[in-house]
Homo-oligomer: A and B are copies of this chain.
Amino acid sequence: MKQFDIASIPGDGIGIEVVPQAERVLRAVADVHGGLAFQFQSFPWSCQYYIEHGVMMPDNGLEQLKPFDAIFLGAVGDPNLVPDHISLWGLLIQIRREFEQVINMRPAKRLDGIQSPLQNPKDFDLVVIRENSEGEYSTVGGRIHSKEDEVAIQNAVFTRKGTERVMRYAFEVAAKRKRFVTSATKSNGIVHSMPFWDQVFKEVSADYPAIRTESQHIDALAAFFVTRPADFDVIVASNLFGDILTDIGAAIMGSIGIAPAANINVNGNYPSMFEPVHGSAPDIVGKGLANPIGQIWTAKMMLDHFGEEELGTFLLDAIERVTRKGTITKDLGGIHSTEEVTDAIISELHT
């Protein structure tokens, strides 16, 4: 019996609604498969927790998470309760960094039965490989003076190590796909970090002669996600650019509620973390409106990460059979609840 120990952090808002649903699905996957078990331990770390304890997680939070095979996170943040930069940096981003989850991987792909906002999306199937530990998301910077003289300085920090690492990862992923890597840059406007990014991209590319490459400025690339998404395969992007592109990717899929993501520790020295692209959506909490597919597809990425790619494909196929039948939530134009969609996926697993 293979057992995977998973630390669940439902977090805030609809995270609390969709994580248990995705856990039900994973249990069903294990049932169907046999010889496999998932053990979940839930951690209540969230904005609510912050209000009670003054911290997003206990001092030894990371130590508590460390022994697990993976972290399964819902959504963090509820600006009505705690400012985002506190809640996110105290939990989500801290885990990403301390556990060296240096890669953020986010596919965008159409599912049957789901309407894209695009007229003619064709069959796009791309994956954004985002640097997840440095770049524009940096604690380096500050302010000087006050009132009308105030100046805020924000440093973006790009290391050779981090930049090269994310690029090599992207090339490795591309080698198993359509062998095409697009680099998101902005070296025409941002004149220190982005020419550096371009240079490293060029150097790393040289090691992968069988893989076609291109560089696109982020403004143009964001537009191309709207006008010709089917032309892309693997996109490698900085922390911020990857963040922006993957929300557009989610939008063209039909709803941010279905978009999955993985925060990957490439050395295996700490657990990786699996969290959907969507946020905590406090406005729809408690109404059964939350789309569970983002979290369930994220569970599929966790299966892939465990080396259970066959099970991952099995799960994604079940999800797609359900969307094809129209058992979908309101964000996708459907009438079904969070639980009904989950039930439908589970029953597909059993057929």
Contact = CB atoms under 8 A, between A and B. Distances in A.
Interface string A219-256: 11011101100000000000110011011101110001
A150 B156 contact: no
Nearest to A163: B152
A279 B252 CA distance: 25
Contacts of A143: 192, 196
Copies of this polypeptide in the complex: 2
A59 B280 CA distance: 54
Interface stretch (A61-69, A117-125, A265-273): A117-125
Contacts of A85: 187-188, 191, 195
Interface stretch (A133-141, A171-179, A286-294, A306-314): A133-141
Contacts of A252: 226
Contact of A159 (B77, B139, B151, B196): B151
A340 to B, nearest CB: 24
B84 A188 contact: yes
Contacts of A34: none
A158 interface: yes
A339 B155 CA distance: 47
A189 interface: yes
B155 A189 contact: no
A344 interface: no
Contacts of A195: 83, 85
B148 A89 contact: no
Contacts of A149: 160
A110 B139 CA distance: 41
A160 B244 CA distance: 26
Contacts of A187: 83-85
A88 interface: yes
A1 interface: no
Contacts of A219: 243-244, 246-247
A300 interface: no
Contacts of A142: 192
A2 interface: no
A218 interface: yes
A120 to B, nearest CB: 7
A137 B189 contact: yes
A93 interface: yes
Given A138-B191, A152-B196, A154-B155, 5 more contacts: A85-B187, A148-B164, A152-B157, A155-B192, A218-B244
15 contacts: A84-B188, A85-B195, A93-B189, A117-B119, A143-B192, A147-B160, A149-B160, A152-B158, A153-B157, A155-B192, A186-B243, A189-B243, A219-B247, A222-B222, A222-B247
